[in-house]
Amino acid sequence: MKIAFRPKLLDCLSTYDRIQFGKDVAAGITVGVLALPLAMAFAIASGASPAAGIWTAIVAGFVTAALGGSRVQIGGPTGAFIPIVYGIVAAHGFGNLLGATMLAGIMLLAMGIARMGQLIRFIPVTVVIGFTNGIAVVIFMAQIKDFFGLTIDHLPAEFFARIKVLAAHAHTVDLPTLALSVACLVFLLSYNRLAQLIPPLRRAPGPLAVLVVGTLAAWLLELPVETIGSRFNGIPQEFPGFGLPDLSIHDFGKLISPAITIALLGAIESLLSARVADSQIDDRHDPNQELIAQGLANIAAPLFGGFAATGAIARTSTNVKSGGRTPVAGMVHAVVLLGIVLIAAPLASYVPLATLSAIVMVVAVNMGEWHEFKELRRYSWNYRVILLATFFVTVLFDLTIAVELGMVLASLFFIYRMSELTRIERLPMKEEAHDPRFLYPDGTMRVATWQLFGSLFFGAVNKLEELLDPREGHPEVVILDMTRLIQLDTTGLEGLENLRDKLAKRGCRLILCGLNSQPGSLLFRSGFIDQLGDDNVCADLTQALRRAWVLLPSLMGGDEEY
């Protein structure tokens, strides 16, 4: 198998100029500044250190841009990973999270090499909406502890246990923390309106503005709230240690399932982000190259202490709106973050966790497609069941189970729908077929003609049994008009073989006519046509009736001109 490896960066460099470089640098700086508070907030919400989130954005962001299949994709930690990463950290520890991330990266890399990028699009939109909204709820709930300043040593990842712990510690609400959280939340939700009234605010992203304002307010007012410095001892102003995660064979086995979850979600979100970006810049991304880049990014990030990363829709859209049109903008964004760490890291110690929790809550609210719940009444029961089942299982149990359940339900409903569309109908005989030679003495037909519609597959093959119903008479020849049969699978082939054998035991012959390309190809390749006889495969119904006249026992040896 030939491996196609051609990053979008190579296509862009051939026509690159100074003007575009200036736009890319400006966009990269804007996105880099926006990514700083999001990277820290997502990391803390995931149970990791803020430094881990920043280095994830730096390393994964640079690799995604340099080697990806999209011109404008921005990679890094995202809100969608919060419940997954938090659950892995809670169950296995941060060290094993790094191992799971690298294992997921290998899976993504293999998916890209195997050219499976297009297969991700097979996931129904109902499943995507269901788990996206479910993840948003899980993220929102995970921020309640820091938003209210609750005194909780360990917050469980499991839904019911989390609710129980939050309720048991509701009396520990810290009023200064709650006041700062609410103020930051209101400020961020109303930021667009404020920016219209105060023009200078338009130059700064909302998360960065609330980060600065919240930090200054806590410092100037000397609010007794928890900060990055008090919980994590700040952010190291240096490069992190470089090395492979320390894993054992025992650890490797228990990390396979979490790694599959990371790989699946990373593939879905990165390709969804790339598709959104395509519509904004009138371009077309390479899904396989994007998966390769995401795989390499998730392999590289843990080497620097980072964790799971994927394409970030909000940061990618900001990149486009800021003028970024090539991967250079994403690379600049990573360099900007690196510069902030090496120069201004000590200032991060003053950032209140309440401010970061407000930022993540707004991200959770914005990432959910809540209007889809209002629209449910317009759709079928199948659509509603798949979406709601995926949503509730994501919230109450686990994302992996939710996606698996959603896919199983979607597949079952699709099979049922396709089987309903598959029909077998008795055709009225043409006038020439009412020749007395085609009739039994009692007036019943010696030839039965049926037409197949749709797809004869494992979910609909049982419909062939209608042809064997005694109430349909006892013809000596059965003609199957397959002009409107568009697809045949191996189970459908087996059904035709069984039908031929059962008819033969009754002394009845089978004739096929009007074969389309796919069913005809399978019937010829399987040897079914050879066993049936070439003469019993006709171009159309008229020719099939002529063949039936020849096969009728009482006419054998007669004039074959009809």
SS3 65: helix
What pLDDT, on the 0 to 100 scale, is given for residue 435? 64
Yes or no: say if 348 and 228 are a contact pair by the CB < 8 Å rule. yes
DSSP string, 266-313: HHHHHHHHHHHHHHHHT----HHHHHHHHHHHHHHGGGGT----EE-H
Q: For residues 294 and 60, give the distance between their C-alpha atoms in angstroms, rounded to a whole number.
A: 8
Contact at 8 Å (CB) between 406 and 433? no
Mean pLDDT for the chain overall: 88
Lookup: tokens for 65: 């841009």
**pLDDT at residue number 557:** 42
CA triple 88-92-97, angle to 5 deg: 55
Cβ neighbors of 2 (< 8 A, separation 6 or more) are none
> What percent of the chain is predicted at pLDDT more than 70?
94
The pLDDT, as a whole number, for residue 559 is 44
Fold of 423-555: Transcription Regulator spoIIAA (3.30.750)
Q: pLDDT per residue over 434-467, tens digit each?
A: 666 666 666 567 888 999 999 999 999 999 988 8
| Predicted confidence (pLDDT) per residue in 303-324, tens digit | 999 999 999 888 898 889 888 9
Residue range 488-530, pLDDT digits in tens: 999 999 999 999 999 999 889 999 999 999 999 999 999 999 9
Residue 179: pLDDT over 70: yes
* pLDDT band for position 125 (cuts 50, 70, 90): confident
pTM for the whole thing? 0.79
170 vs 198, higher pLDDT? 170
Q: State phi, psi for 124 to the nearest 5 degrees.
A: -60, 150
pLDDT tier for residue 124 given thresholds of 50, 70 and 90: confident
Q: Between these two residues, 272 and 528, which has the higher pLDDT value?
A: 528
- Enter the tokens of residue 285: 């991304």
- For residue range 345-388, list pLDDT tens digits in order: 888 899 999 999 999 898 888 888 899 998 888 888 999 999 99
| Nearest CA among 481, 497, 368 for reference residue 423 | 481
